[in-house]
Amino acid sequence: MLPSTRAFLERHAAEHPVAAAPAAAAGPAAAAAPSGTVPNVVGVHLLLERDGQVLLGLRHPDSAYAGGSWHVLAGHCEAESATACLLREAYEEAGLVIDPAGVELVHTVHMRERPADPPRIQLFFRARRWEGTPRLREPDKCAAWQWWNAEELPEPIVPYARAAIEGVRAGRVYTELGWGR
């Protein structure tokens, strides 16, 4: 084990000690989860590219999250796989039919925007094949779809979307944001 990895693990163990749980904890799920375990929200994102441009949506100004900012097509996983969620969201939000055989995971962002927020895993998928032209199907969430030069992204843009697009362009597959390091 590398010294830096060992130091990280030792620091993490000291900051998050595992409390001894009573033998009759609240069921098998409680017994399996170490103390301090927090579920992560899983988001899926579509990185749709053509001719050096990426598709971004302008979030409705009244959106609960990032109103008035540009963002890739995205949604939260429900009781479904990440790929199924991506296909569903692409159709619901923009009327696009994505070929699941042409989908690949290209970047992951593990983030926390504020200390009190739940951590999030943001999965970015590239679709090599799709049918349809992006159209507004949820105007209460998205005010416009537009293709942008990937080297000249608009402002304001959701920061983790920018980090992922730039990461993909640089050949990186993973980014961490908001963990205070």
Please report the DSSP string for the chain in residue order: --HHHHHHHHHHHHHSPPPPPPTT-SSHHHHHSPTT--PPEEEEEEE-EETTEEEEEEE-TT-TTTTT-EE-EEEE--SS-HHHHHHHHHHHHH--EE-GGGEEEEEEEEE-SSTTSPPEEEEEEEES-EES----S-TTTEEEEEEEETTS--SSB-HHHHHHHHHHHHT--EEEESS--
What is the Cα–Cα distance from 104 to 86, expressed in whole angstroms?
11
Q: Are 142 and 62 in contact (CB under 8 A)?
A: no
Among residues 57, 63, 78, 76, the alpha carbon closest in space to that of 147 is found at 57
Structure tokens at 92: 């619901």
pLDDT recorded at residue 6: 65
CATH number of 40-177: 3.90.79.10
Tell me the whole-structure pTM to 2 decimals. 0.81
Widest Cα–Cα separation across the chain:
60
pLDDT recorded at residue 29: 46
Phi-psi region of 95 (alpha: psi -120 to 50; beta: other; left: phi over 0): left
Pairing of strands 70-71, 41-47: unpaired
pLDDT averaged over 10-residue windows placed end to end, the chain, 181 residues: 61 59 42 72 97 97 95 96 97 97 97 92 97 96 97 98 98 95 57
pLDDT recorded at residue 23: 41
pLDDT recorded at residue 28: 46
pLDDT recorded at residue 1: 54
